[in-house]
Amino acid sequence: MKWFCTMAALFAVTLSMPVDEASAWSARANFNVSLFGSKFHRVEMRRFYTNQCLAEVTVRFYAPYNVYTKFQVRVTLQSGAWFRSTVFFNNRSGEREFRWEYNTTAQGCWTKSAQRAAYLEVHGCKGSGCTVSEFGY
């Protein structure tokens, strides 16, 4: 049987302050979003000196079961900008993370300014043949 579900957090607490806009910046926020027992608890973002339009994003979560589960996350920032991950899977229990890079060139390079995560949504499904539901816009 295939299962899919969506969970979202309404707010976050920013733990680190970004630095000057002309330099690299980093920010992290704690969340409390659960889906299929997995608890998504932190989003970390940073921009490098080398490419002002590229952000590296890490989502940290705790998975209590060794069950094949697919996830996709969407992070909305305080500025109103947002980005989503590719679909990723997990089949191991314990503290886990998923990291990806997001290029904002096509959206006006909004990573030139320091950003803070404000909202986290997680979609997912169970089973290797399942399909993660689309995010509504």
**Do 14 and 28 touch, CB atoms closer than 8 A?**
yes
- Total-model pTM: 0.79
- Inform me whether the pLDDT recorded for 64 exceeds 70: yes
Task: Kindly report the average pLDDT of the chain as a whole number.
Answer: 84
- Read off the pLDDT of residues 20-38 as tens digits, 9 standing for 90 and up: 445 688 999 999 999 999 9
Q: Helix, strand or coil for residue 25? A: strand
Q: Looking at residue 7, what is its pLDDT? A: 47
The most distant pair of C-alpha atoms in the chain lies apart, rounded to whole Å, by 51
Domains of the chain, residue spans: 3-126
* CA dist., res. 18 & res. 26, Å (int): 5
Provide mean pLDDT across the span 107-116: 86
Total residues belonging to the chain:
137
CA 96 to chain centre: 13
- Inform me whether the pLDDT recorded for 69 exceeds 80: yes
